[in-house]
Amino acid sequence: MSADKTNKAAAKRGGAQDAKPRSGWLWSLPLLVFLGLAGLFWYALGSGDPHRLPSALLDKPVPEFSLPPIEGLPDHRQGFSSKDLATGEPTIVNVWASWCGPCREEHPVLTELSKKPGVRLFGINYKDDPAGARSFLGRFGDPFDRVGSDRTGRVGINWGVYGVPETYVVDGTGKIVYRHIGPLTSQAIDDELLPRIEAERDKAKATAETTAEPKAETGNATK
The pLDDT score that the predictor gives to residue 205 is: 85
Question: Which of 27 and 218 is assigned the larger pLDDT?
Answer: 27
Identify the CATH homologous superfamily for domain 60-210.
Answer: Glutaredoxin (3.40.30.10)
Inform me whether the pLDDT recorded for 125 exceeds 60.
Answer: yes
Taking the C-alpha atoms of residue 140 and residue 134, their distance in angstroms, rounded to an integer, is 10
Whose CA is closest to 103, among 136, 152, 69? 136
pTM of structure: 0.72
Query: What are the C-alpha distances in Å from 181 to residues 50, 60, 101, 131?
Result: 8, 18, 14, 26
Instruction: Give yes or no for a contact between 67 and 124, defined as CB atoms under 8 angstroms apart.
Output: yes
Taking the C-alpha atoms of residue 183 and residue 51, their distance in angstroms, rounded to an integer, is 9
Inform me whether the pLDDT recorded for 172 exceeds 70.
Answer: yes
* pLDDT over 70, % of the chain: 70
**Averaged confidence pLDDT in the chain:** 81
The pLDDT score that the predictor gives to residue 207 is: 80
- The full 3-state SS of the chain, as one line of letters, equals CCHHHHHHHHHHHHHHHHHHHHHHHHHHHHHHHHHHHHHHHHHHHHCCCCCCCCCCCCCEECCCCEECCCCCCCCCCCCEEHHHHCCCCCEEEEEECCCCHHHHHHHHHHHHHHCCCCCCEEEEEECCCHHHHHHHHHHHCCCCCEEEEECCCHHHHHHCCCCCCEEEEECCCCEEEEEEECCCCHHHHHHHHHHHHHHHHHHHHHHHHHHHHHHHHHHHHHC
Taking the C-alpha atoms of residue 81 and residue 68, their distance in angstroms, rounded to an integer, is 9
